[in-house]
């Protein structure tokens, strides 16, 4: 079944989008997925975090960022000072790529209407791209500097920071990430 247009999805609302994602067979990932991973957090957030794709733990539970990288994302959110009502977390791709490989271009493309519709409905002031894959998926080839905000179309501000999983293996990035956040606090305060 072909994915519907962004406009059609937006009209369906959160529940409609969820149903469409659950029924989607538009790329090969649906053949190996256990649970599709849709979103967590507020439905009226000031900030939306976009991750890459579910990992093993997320595939088991259906909850975004509930594994080791999720612990780092929780730390980032706490450091930013966001309340539970202030943010939502979604992924560029809703199904786990086997063996945690990076999602393919075709998989990112197949999931893009869902990503765009989610962003339109959540309507955040700030979109935080967690790493390069989220940027690739959301920005159509446009490159952002790490930690340098960009105001888009009078709609929202985009900010790219390090993916929480990158902080597991590159501990030196933790301090850098805090600096990126500190220099952008005005965006969500
Ligand atoms: N990494 C991601 O990008 N998303 C998740 O949900 C979990 C790990």
Could you read off the pLDDT of 133-154 as tens digits, one per residue? Answer: 999 999 998 999 999 999 998 9
Centre of ligand 1 to C-alpha 151, Å, is 25
What distance in Å separates the CA atoms of residue 44 and residue 52, rounded to the nearest whole number? Answer: 21
Phi and psi, residue 24, nearest 5°: -65, 135
Centre of ligand 1 to C-alpha 94, Å, is 10
**Could you tell which of 35, 67, 160, 167 is best to mutate to test the pocket of ligand 1, judged by most ligand atoms within 8 Å of the CB?**
67
**Could you tell which of 48, 59, 69 is best to mutate to test the pocket of ligand 1, judged by most ligand atoms within 8 Å of the CB?**
69
Give the pTM.
Answer: 0.97
* Protein residues whose CB sits closer than 6 Å to any atom of ligand 1: 37, 51-55, 58, 64-65, 69, 91, 165
- Tell me if 137 sits within 8 A of 93, measured CB to CB: yes
Reported confidence tier of residue 1, pLDDT bands at 50, 70, 90: low
Could you read off the pLDDT of 59-103 as tens digits, one per residue? Answer: 999 999 999 999 999 999 999 999 999 999 999 999 999 999 999
**Structural domains for the chain:** 6-187 (3.40.470.10)
What distance in Å separates the CA atoms of residue 52 and residue 75, rounded to the nearest whole number? Answer: 18
More confident residue, 171 or 118: 118
Given this model, what pLDDT does residue 2 score? 65
- Tell me if 112 sits within 8 A of 26, measured CB to CB: no
pLDDT at 120 over 80: yes
């Amino acid at each position: 079944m072909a994915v519907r247009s962004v406009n059609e999805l937006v009209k369906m609302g959160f529940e409609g989008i969820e149903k469409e994602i659950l029924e989607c067979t538009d790329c090969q990932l649906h053949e190996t997925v256990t649970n599709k991973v849709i979103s967590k957090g507020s439905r009226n957030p000031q900030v939306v975090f976009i991750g890459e794709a579910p990992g093993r733990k997320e595939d088991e539970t259906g909850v975004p960022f509930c594994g080791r990288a999720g612990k780092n994302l929780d730390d980032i959110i706490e450091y930013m000072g966001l309340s539970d009502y202030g943010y939502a977390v979604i992924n560029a791709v809703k199904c786990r790529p086997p063996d945690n490989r990076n999602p393919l271009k075709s998989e990112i493309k197949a999931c893009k209407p869902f990503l765009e519709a989610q962003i339109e409905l959540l309507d955040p002031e700030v979109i935080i791209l967690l790493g390069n894959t989220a940027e690739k998926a959301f920005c159509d080839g446009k490159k952002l500097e790490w930690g340098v905000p960009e105001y888009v179309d009078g709609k929202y501000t985009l900010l790219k920071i390090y993916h929480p999983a990158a902080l597991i293996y590159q501990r030196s990035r933790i301090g850098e990430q805090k600096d990126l956040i500190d220099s952008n606090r005005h965006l969500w305060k």
